[in-house]
Chain A
Amino acid sequence: MNIPTELKYTKEHEWIKLDGTTATVGITDWAQGELGDIVFVELPEVGDKIERTKPFGTIEAVKAVSDLFAPLSGEVVEINAALEDDPMVINRDAFGDGWMVRIECSDLSELDQLLDSAGYESIING
């Protein structure tokens, strides 16, 4: 199972990479495998405020549609525009080129709510 140890996770199968107060967010390799080929990704716009645990986008895959839940609260500062033309990059490289949004975090205490790789692994094996 591909679960990089340097990332943080949510039980909704998102990964979070922290760089100061900026968080890059995507879905995990396990999640893309469960969804199958991804056809569309609906993302918020730059400047949108998002709130932890609230839906901020959707993923339409061949087998199912899935909401994206914000792992942290803050403002969207960048979205991965490449997903518009080639959403299957998430299937190919979930932890890299398949990233979705960058968030400027507004409440760093929320970081305590995230899982480490071992915690996430126990969820998908649970």
Chain B
Amino acid sequence: MTETETQAVKTAFFKYHVEAGARMVEFAGFMMPVQYQGITAEHLAVREKVGLFDLSHMGEFEVTGGDSLAFLQHVTTNNVAALEVGQIQYSCMTKADGGIVDDLLIYRLADRYLLVVNAANIARDFSWLKSHLDGDVRLVDRSGQVSLLAIQGPDAEKLLSELTTYNLADMAFYTSATAEIAGCEVLFSRTGYTGEDGFELYIPPQHTDTLWKAITEVGKRYDLQLIGLGARDSLRLEMKMALYGNDIDESTNPIEAGLGWIVDLDTDFVGRNVIAQTKAEKPKRRLVCLEVQGRAFPRHGYDLLVDGKPVGKVTSGTFSPSLQKPIALGYVPRRYAKAGSELEVAIRNKRFAAHVVKPPFYKDGSHR
């Protein structure tokens, strides 16, 4: 056994993954299932029916105190003041130079805010946020006490409605509620990273076994499949949802990444001036969606070419299980960023034709 395996954290659902025959890998310091039956089958199960994901590696921070709103306005790019209790916002944190520290979800709850951040960035995000604390604000890392399960797919509402009396039919996308699910009181939201309808459940330690068993038991009637990180990646990629560390990082800013819609320049946040300037001058490069021709498998780091010369790099790529063709995200100079622009992807010793398409790649998702 290697050092990383012995140090990696096992989530509350580890034993269920092993029982189900998952291939476990170390990811961001956690032992996570990368696949069970196979990435393609899992991907299609979420598109067609419903799947269950263990996302307990994600980080959760609580923000409380009278100056919480002012603090969050300062450290995130979107307008937190627009959030009503029960609403959720996608946002990001940026450095003074506009580079992205992380992308995150902000939940406004009755008595606090909850920030959900990427597993690989938990420690770094926490210290970055801590360095900006000001006034009456308390920031607490709850990551170790919260397990996260996601139920995603067109049948997610039907499945979950068998376990709760809460009115899911009227629950809007990007809202949260606290209610009893399988007799356990949990915070949950209508959110996801797949393009499908779905829910995410934030589960305290005493309820993890009850909820896993209840969901998988009811799930049998809906052909619920367990979904690993492999299919999570291809599902999000088909929707052009950015993956931190691949498509966005400290060297990219939200405007280049096509995340201008989560930046509110009327708020005063760290990095605002640089980002406002990028927006005004238009970014030099943009993250675009590419469809690739032929028997190609674009991967992170491959060169994008125009007239045989490198102009950018692939940041994420896969063979799309839904579209049955190779797809990629990558940064290209602005003049090649329009839909229809023609480029090539260099894959080892060959070049494959590619063209820019409008996001998302997959247009039939069930989320509203």
> Interface on A for B, CB 8 Å cutoff?
33, 36-37, 39-40, 42, 60, 62-63, 65, 88, 91
Q: A36-B39, A39-B319, A91-B38 are in contact. Are A62 and B299 (CB under 8 A)?
A: no
Partner of A37, one of B38, B295, B299, B348: B38
Secondary structure class of chain A's binding surface, majority of residues: mixed
Closest A residue to B297 by CB, please name it: A60
- Shortest Cβ gap from B298 to chain A (Å): 10
A40 & B297 in contact (Cβ 8 Å cutoff) = yes
Q: Would you call A36 and B295 a contact (CB within 8 A)?
A: no
Q: Which 6 A-B pairs give the minimum distances between C-beta atoms?
A: A60-B297, A39-B319, A40-B295, A37-B40, A62-B39, A37-B38
Interface pairs (26), CB distance under 8 Å: A33-B23, A36-B38, A36-B39, A36-B230, A37-B38, A37-B39, A37-B40, A39-B297, A39-B319, A40-B295, A40-B297, A40-B319, A42-B295, A60-B295, A60-B297, A60-B319, A62-B39, A62-B230, A62-B234, A62-B318, A62-B319, A63-B230, A65-B297, A65-B299, A65-B348, A88-B38
Query: Please, which residue of chain B has its CB at the minimum distance from the CB of A39?
Result: B319
Complexed CA–CA distance, A31 and B23 (Å) = 14
Interface of B with A (CB < 8 Å)?
Answer: 23, 34-35, 38-40, 230, 234, 295, 297, 299, 318-319, 348
Contact status A36-B297, CB under 8 Å: no
Residues on B with C-beta less than 8 A from A65 are 297, 299, 348
Q: How far is the CB of A22 from the nearest CB of chain B, in Å?
A: 27
- Nearest-neighbor residue (CB-CB) of A58 within chain B: B348
Give the tally of cross-chain contacts (CB within 8 A): 32
Please give, as numbers and ranges, the residues of chain A lying within 8 Å of B299 by CB-CB distance: 65
Tell me the minimal C-beta distance from A27 to chain B in angstroms: 16
Q: Determine how close the nearest CB of chain A comes to the CB of B50; give it in whole angstroms.
A: 20
What would 14 more interface pairs be, CB under 8 Å, given A37-B40, A60-B295, A62-B40?
A36-B35, A39-B297, A39-B319, A40-B319, A60-B319, A62-B39, A62-B230, A62-B234, A62-B319, A63-B230, A65-B297, A65-B299, A88-B38, A91-B38
CA distance A37 to B41 in the complex (A): 9
In the bound complex, residues from chain A placing their C-beta under 8 Å from that of B230 are: 36, 62-63
**Chain A hits for B35, CB < 8 A:** 36
Query: In this complex, what residue of B is CB-closest to A40?
Result: B295
- Select from chain A the residue with minimum beta-carbon distance to B234: A62
